[in-house]
Amino acid sequence: MLRRFRPYFHYLREHRSLLLLGILCGVISGIATGAGLPLMVDRVFPVVFGANAAPLSNWQLAVVVLWLPLVFTLRGVFGYLNAYLIQLAGTRVLESIRRDFFRKLQVLPLSFFGRHSSGDLISRGLADANQLQFTLTTVANEIVKSPATLVGAIGVIAYKAYQIDGLSLVLVCLAAVPLTVLPIRHIGKKLARRSGSIQRELGAVSSRFNENLAAAREIRAFGLEDRETARFSLVTRALITAQMKFVKYEKALAPMIEIISTLGIAGTLLYAYRIHLDLPTFMALITALYASYEPVKRLGALNNETKRGLGALDRLEAILNEPVTIKDPPQPVPVSRLRGEIAFSGVTFAYGDSPALSDVTVTIPAGTVCALVGPSGAGKSTFANLVPRFYEVGAGAVTIDGIDVRQMKLADLRRHIALVSQEPVLFNDTIYENLRLGREGATRDEIMAAAVDAHADEFIRQLPLGYETIVGERGALLSGGQKQRVAIARAFLRHAPILILDEATSALDSDSEAAVQDALRKLVQGKTVLIIAHRFSTIRDASQILVFDRGRIAASGDHTALYAGNALYKSLYDRQSAHGAQ
């Protein structure tokens, strides 16, 4: 079982001395528990209660009565140090696992997020990591102390037995110990399977939560409150069922071990009667026996807890070991400054089975504006997503200035691209920090200048705290047009030769609209621009228009040529014009 944790041992290296000290403290505490109590029964009781005991001097009496507090102080203080020190090391490991998990989420390809719901991923990062933490805590408390207690107690039994009768008494006393292994193994196996399903169900509950919270508006608009609650009840019921199956077995273990251990005590009673054992010796043996079964019980429970922790580790590792398919090439082509000529040659791409792009070949000269048009689902966004290498082409190649995007470092490639999406995402931070994301290392003056260029400065200054205003989750305190302008300012800051622009479909208020359009006109100058176009004004200004239809480029050219020669384009354009004229 420890093998599973081996990859994480290196995290412990810097805490090695603490860990060793912790283990030492555990041994002292365990032996104090296992041997201290039986020895007290053996030594102290006869002195105090023995029929023919000699009267004690004051200091002898003090030593005798202080034996118990002494044992418990040793057990308590060293037990505390043991738990604290080992847990310190354990939580450091956990912290590293959790950080690695989060870091991994930053570099996984976007296709990964199509396969995993964010609720499930959050559940792995929080609930599974918590489970693992709990396991480490429990294990830390017992893993050294319990075996040491067991050794201490067995030591006392062996010592007493040696004085009286030799080996046979030891064997009789401990006869039941091997039997306790049976339920531990059996139940452990059952639990291993069930703990995985608990964590899975937790993931499902978390997904439901997440999806529901993200759709608060729709749920109210469509009157889905009851349906959602019913759907939520289903997953919570499944979670509870999984948990109860676990509890059913988990709670059976301790009583089973106790019952089996009483067989050992019964055997000892019988034997004691046969060989006329005196009461104090018998009491010492029974205390030692009790002290030895207790750690067995705990180790059994520990075994279960470890199974549970491993279930959680499995779910964390499933993500940690997920291959990062989109990464830097081993020998990247050095890139200083790209001009921005984009070329697709024979590009085919599929998200799943059916292709979203088939055999697309086109060149977009540097410094020109290219509009992507076509019905929804035709492949426009997919085309744009392949340029920053958000996805990997299935066949063919995407090149910039003749260099395959797969041959550049991702950071080099993406440094040359600015992205303005339909619904820009802002972080829950100040406007200033949100702007600064545009380029690491931008100065305050540059940031302000970008805001001015994007027509964002004017509204920002009217906010209560100006640039220091916090924008709320995903920028909730700003209007759609304001968020767009912040996104445009970020794009200005980036100074990238390539600009990918997903035009907003939703109508902005007319002031915002004019400001956004003006800012965009300035932004696109001198850049290679890909616009996923929803407006006819943009289309008409483009030097090249690509008409997408079911994953292919059905036609390309400028507006006049396409309007005259392509029926799909004509119908799209006429529809947009009618829409625009409304």
Which one among 162, 222, 273, 351 touches ligand ADP, defined by CB under 6 A? 351
Which one among 382, 434, 512, 576 touches ligand ADP, defined by CB under 6 A? 382
DSSP-derived 3-state class of residue 350: strand
Whole-Å CA distances, 548 to 262, 359, 421, 553, 578: 79, 12, 19, 5, 21
Q: What are the strands, taking DSSP E only, across 457-525?
A: 498-502
Whole-Å CA distances, 572 to 38, 369, 575: 91, 19, 5
Which one among 376, 462, 510, 560 touches ligand ADP, defined by CB under 6 A? 376
Of residues 261 and 382, the one with the C-beta less far from ligand ADP: 382
Taken as a whole, the chain contains a residue count of 582
Binding of ligand ADP at residue 358 (CB under 6 A)? no
Q: In angstroms, what is the minimal distance from the CB of 511 to ligand ADP? A: 29
Q: In angstroms, what is the minimal distance from the CB of 114 to ligand ADP? A: 5
Contact string (CB under 6 A) for ligand ADP, positions 112-131, x = contact = --x-----------------
Contact string (CB under 6 A) for ligand ADP, positions 511-550, x = contact = -------------------------------------x--
Binding of ligand ADP at residue 405 (CB under 6 A)? no
Q: In angstroms, what is the minimal distance from the CB of 382 to ligand ADP? A: 3
Q: Strand 342-350 vs strand 395-400: parallel, antiparallel, or unpaired?
A: antiparallel
Of residues 376 and 582, the one with the C-beta less far from ligand ADP: 376
Sheet (strand 395-400) strand order: 355-364, 342-350, 395-400, 403-404
Q: What is the DSSP string of 406-453?
A: GGS-HHHHHHTEEEE-SS----SSBHHHHHHTTSTT--HHHHHHHHHH
Q: Which of 202-210, 255-263, 350-358, 360-368 is the region at the interface with ligand ADP (rule: CB under 6 A)?
A: 350-358
Binding of ligand ADP at residue 377 (CB under 6 A)? yes
Element housing 31 (H / E): helix 16-49
Contact string (CB under 6 A) for ligand ADP, positions 76-115, x = contact = --------------------------------------x-
Which one among 379, 424, 480, 497 touches ligand ADP, defined by CB under 6 A? 379
Distance of CA 304 to the CA centre of its chain: 23
For the chain, the first-to-last Cα distance in angstroms comes to 69
Q: In angstroms, what is the minimal distance from the CB of 91 to ligand ADP? A: 37
Are 316 and 330 in contact, with CB atoms under 8 Å apart? no
- Token match 């018998």: residue? 282
Q: In angstroms, what is the minimal distance from the CB of 111 to ligand ADP? A: 7
Which one among 38, 309, 340, 374 touches ligand ADP, defined by CB under 6 A? 374
Of residues 289 and 417, the one with the C-beta less far from ligand ADP: 417
Are 563 and 571 in contact, with CB atoms under 8 Å apart? no
Per CB under 6 A, residues contacting ligand ADP are: 114, 351-352, 356, 374, 376-382, 548
